[in-house]
Amino acid sequence: MAEFKKNDNFFQNETEKIFNYLKNELNILRKTFFAIKKLIGSKPTQEKNLSELSDHFQRSKEEIDKSKTKLNEDIHSLENELSTVKYPFHKK
């Protein structure tokens, strides 16, 4: 009889361990599912943010290109002006 109680207690303990393990796994799966659901839900917002950022970078690039062009024009204009200036300190 004592052997039967010992085995019964052993099986009950093992069953509880398995049940707790499965319960923990279910909690992990539930959290994973909610995380995936949240990521999927935020996808349109992330795509919109990336699109806006891309547009911003494109506008910035265009502004930089315009500024470079203007700078090159100004440099060329200054070089032309300097080529006409006679330096009083130039040695003859």
Secondary structure (3-state) at 92 = coil
pLDDT at 1: 54
pLDDT at 82: 83
Terminal-to-terminal C-alpha distance of the chain: 126
pLDDT at 83: 81
CA distance 32 to 30: 5
CA distance 56 to 58: 5
Only one residue has tokens 């959290």, namely: 31
The encoded tokens of residue 89 equal: 């300190």
What is the pTM (predicted TM-score) of this model?
A: 0.51
Spell out the per-residue pLDDT of the chain, length 92, in tens.
556 566 778 888 999 999 999 999 999 999 999 999 999 999 999 999 999 999 999 999 999 999 999 999 999 999 888 888 776 665 55
Report CA-CA distances (Å) from 39 to 26, 32, 50, 66: 20, 11, 15, 39
| Range list of β-strands (E), the chain | none
DSSP-derived letter for residue 87 is P
